[in-house]
Structure 1
Amino acid sequence: MTDATSPALPAILEPLTINGVEVRNRLILPPMCMYACEARDGVPHGWHFQHLGARAAGGFGIVVAEATAVTPKGRISAWDTGLWNDEQRDAWAPIAAYVAAEGAVPAVQLGHAGAKASTVPMHPGVPAGEPILEGPDAWATLSPSGVPATSMPANVRAMTEQDVAGTVRAFADAARRADEAGFGAVQLHAAHGYLIHQFLSPLTNTRTDGYGGDFEERTRFLRELVAAVREVWPADKILGVRISGSDWVEEGWGIEETVRLARILEEEGVHWMDVSSAGLGDRYHGPKGPGYQVPLARAVKEGTQRMVVSAVGSLTTPQEVEEVLVSGAADAVCVGRAALANPNGPVEAALELGASAEQAPMARQYFRATWGPGAH
Structure 2
Amino acid sequence: MILVTGGAGYIGSHTVLELLEAGHRVVVLDNLCNSSRLALERVEQLTGKRVEFVLGDILDRDLLERVFRDYPIEAVMHFAGLKAVGESVREPLHYYETNVGGSIALCQAMRSAGVYKLVFSSSATVYGESVSMPIREDCPTGIPTNPYGQSKLMAENVLKGLANSDPCWSIGLLRYFNPIGAHPSGRIGEDPNGIPNNLLPYMLQVAVGRLKRLSIYGNDYPTADGTGVRDYIHVVDLAKGHLKALERLDRQQGVSVWNLGTGQGYSVLQMVRAFEEVIGRPLPHRFVARRPGDIAQCWADPGKALRELGWRAERDLHAMLSDAWRWQTQNPDGYREPARKPEKVKVSLAS
Q: Aligning the two structures, in what range does the TM-score lie when normalised by the shorter sequence? A: 0.3 to 0.5
Q: TM-score, normalised by structure 1?
A: 0.34
Question: Counting helix residues as a fraction of each chain, which structure ranks higher?
Answer: 2
